[in-house]
Amino acid sequence: MKKNLSVQYLTRIAVLTALASILFLIEIPVVAFYKLDLSNLPVLLGAFSMGPLAGIIILALKSLIGMLHSTSMYVGELADFIMGAAFVLPAALLYRRNKTRKTALVGMVVGTVTMIVVAVLVNWKMMIPFYMNAYGMPMEAVVGMATKALPFVDTEWKLLLCVTAPFNLLKGVVLSALTYVLYKHLSPLLHVKARG
CATH number at 131 reads: 1.10.1760.20
Give a yes or no: residue 196 inside a domain. no
Average pLDDT over residues 57-67: 95
How far is Cα 75 from Cα 77, in angstroms, rounded to an integer? 5
Domain count, the chain: 1
Are 70 and 23 a contacting pair, CB within 8 Å?
no
Give a yes or no: residue 195 inside a domain. no
Q: What is the predicted pLDDT for the residue at 192?
A: 60
What residues have CB less than 8 Å from 131, skipping those under 6 apart?
Answer: 33, 137, 142
How far is Cα 91 from Cα 88, in angstroms, rounded to an integer? 5
Give the model's confidence band at 129: pLDDT under 50 very low, under 70 low, under 90 confident, else very high.
very high
pLDDT above 50: residue 186: yes
Least confident of 53-62, 72-81, 84-93, 156-165: 72-81
How far is Cα 77 from Cα 59, in angstroms, rounded to an integer? 10
Full residue range of the structural domain in which residue 60 is found = 2-190
Average pLDDT over residues 28-55: 93
pLDDT above 70: residue 102: yes
What residues have CB less than 8 Å from 81, skipping those under 6 apart?
Answer: 59, 60, 63
Give the model's confidence band at 125: pLDDT under 50 very low, under 70 low, under 90 confident, else very high.
very high
Give a yes or no: residue 13 inside a domain. yes
Q: What is the predicted pLDDT for the residue at 9?
A: 86
User: What's the pLDDT tens digit per position in 82-91?
Assistant: 999 999 999 9
Rounded to the nearest 10 degrees, how much is the dihedral formed by the CA atoms of 25, 51, 117, 82? -50
Question: For the CA atoms of the chain, what is the radius of gyration?
Answer: 18
Q: How many residues does the chain have?
A: 196
Average pLDDT over residues 65-77: 87
pLDDT above 90: residue 164: yes
pLDDT above 70: residue 132: yes
